[in-house]
Amino acid sequence: MTPQRTLKSAVNLSGVALHSGKQVNLRILPAPAQSGIVFVRTDVPHSPLIPAHFQNVVSTRLATTLGRDQVTVSTVEHLLAALAGLGVDNARVEVSGPEIPILDGSSLPFVQAIEAVGTESQGTPRTVLAIRRRVELKINEKWAVAEPSSRLEVHGSIEWDHPSIGHQEFHYIDGKTPFSAIADARTFCLLRDVEAMKNVGLALGGSLDNAVVVDGAQVLNPSGLRHPDEFVRHKVLDALGDFKLSGFALQGYVRLHRAGHDLHSQLLAAIFADANNYEIIGPAASGEASQGSVARLRAAVSRGFVASL
């Protein structure tokens, strides 16, 4: 069994929030075994703890937003992907506003900051969510399939009718593909979408410093792409971040086509909707607290809260 890990010491980062354009401070702190990833808004008095769990997803439009008692934290996916890629199970994330800073639009700055302090084993075995049966989901042209595997594999494919993007595929295999192959892949958008977002007061912090911007056949960023298939690598990175919201280390082979944050959350809901789809292996499987959390999760799924995202 792989032991759980946390950071050796606190990490401080600051940067602009993508949508508000405001400066935000972020602090990632070590946390006890079995506590998971928990967000705290330091600018909100008596802020509730917001666990990184898909039950707490309140929006998947443009980014993944978590919330509890009307307090939200948005754009969590690239930080969660960094924590997933570095094998961090437990951390407390304090943020001074409603959005995690976008930094360079990838997970790389989070990875570098965490690697600078290092991570440590906590002894307690990591709890695994193993896929036991094929689960599939199709929404118009998008689809997702999760199947059993001895490790986590994510195969992403995209199909953009756009000369700079087109068809791209990337297959990430945990333990085989270095996380660095996807950690630096940046978020991307079309110039016309950026203009439309800015017109309605969104993406105010967006710039060529934190996204790949495409116009026609041209990538507008002066330094070009970090990988010829940076677009699909970023999609796989987003998926790793969103799958961290299962609350466990996912073990299965997931294929995603034209997926996004909505499909990722709905796939987790579909997996948890039937206990025959999965097995929880590790300390959380027998703990009373976690059985309660699985029960609450099933109740949320049956109420349609999660499935209606």
Residues at the site binding Zn ion, with contacts judged by CB under 5 A: 187, 238
Identity of the residue, 133 or 142, whose beta carbon is nearer to Zn ion in the bound complex: 142
Identity of the residue, 128 or 182, whose beta carbon is nearer to Zn ion in the bound complex: 182
Burial class (CB in 10 A: 0-12, 13-18, 19+), 233: buried
Least gap, CB of 32 to Zn ion (angstroms):
29
Q: How far apart are CA 189 and CA 212, in angstroms?
A: 6
Q: How far apart are CA 240 and CA 156, in angstroms?
A: 11
Least gap, CB of 88 to Zn ion (angstroms):
18
Least gap, CB of 190 to Zn ion (angstroms):
15
Identity of the residue, 99 or 238, whose beta carbon is nearer to Zn ion in the bound complex: 238
Q: How far apart are CA 80 and CA 207, in angstroms?
A: 22
Q: What tokens does 177 get?
A: 């593909």
Q: How far apart are CA 284 and CA 272, in angstroms?
A: 15
Identity of the residue, 128 or 194, whose beta carbon is nearer to Zn ion in the bound complex: 194
Q: 46 an active-site residue?
A: no
Q: How far apart are CA 172 and CA 157, in angstroms?
A: 11
Q: Which of 235, 263, 247, 239 is nearest to 54 (CA)?
A: 247
Query: How many angstroms separate the Cα of 211 from the Cα of each of 183, 184, 227, 274, 295?
Result: 14, 11, 14, 38, 39
Identity of the residue, 90 or 106, whose beta carbon is nearer to Zn ion in the bound complex: 106
Q: What tokens does 162 get?
A: 């756009």
Q: List the alpha helices (DSSP H) in the chain.
A: 77-85, 108-117, 180-183, 191-199, 230-243, 261-272, 283-286, 288-302
Between strands 3-7 and 119-125, the pairing is antiparallel
Q: State the catalytic residue, choosing from 19, 257, 261, 264.
A: 261
Least gap, CB of 194 to Zn ion (angstroms):
15
Point out the residues that are catalytic. 261
